[in-house]
Amino acid sequence: MTRFAVPILASSLALAGCASVPGPIEDREAGTTGGTCTAQPAQRFIGQTASSETGAAILAATGAQALRWGPPDSVFTMDFRQDRVNVMYDAQLRITEIRCG
């Protein structure tokens, strides 16, 4: 039985590599711009303390749907999302940069 286990396992793995991955699911109708981030109105928050209240105000000012905090010395994925605002802050929790993506 064990002599057949390796070939069966190998062929199963090879077939699994051929499986298709479903495409992304759209959460908004095509052509709508709801939630598109505009960073300029939120630049007034640079220098303020990073907090949940400040984050909520930044979301409201930018029109973004999602907020991603950027602690010091962090690594981020480079995926761009037009509905997300990125807020970087330093070790003293002072906001240093606000950008969309």
Q: What is the pTM of this model?
A: 0.65
* pLDDT of 54 over the 60 cut: yes
Report the C-alpha gap between 54 and 94 in whole angstroms: 11
Helix (H) or strand (E) holding 58: helix 52-62
pLDDT in tens, 60-82: 999 999 999 999 999 888 899 99
Report the C-alpha gap between 53 and 59 in whole angstroms: 10
The Cβ of residue 59 has, within 10 Å, a number of other Cβ atoms equal to: 19
**How sure is the predictor about 7, in pLDDT bands with cuts at 50, 70 and 90?**
low
| CA 95 and chain centroid, separation | 19
SS3 95: strand
What pLDDT is stored for residue 19 in this prediction?
41
Q: Domains of the chain by range and CATH?
A: 37-101 (3.30.10.10)
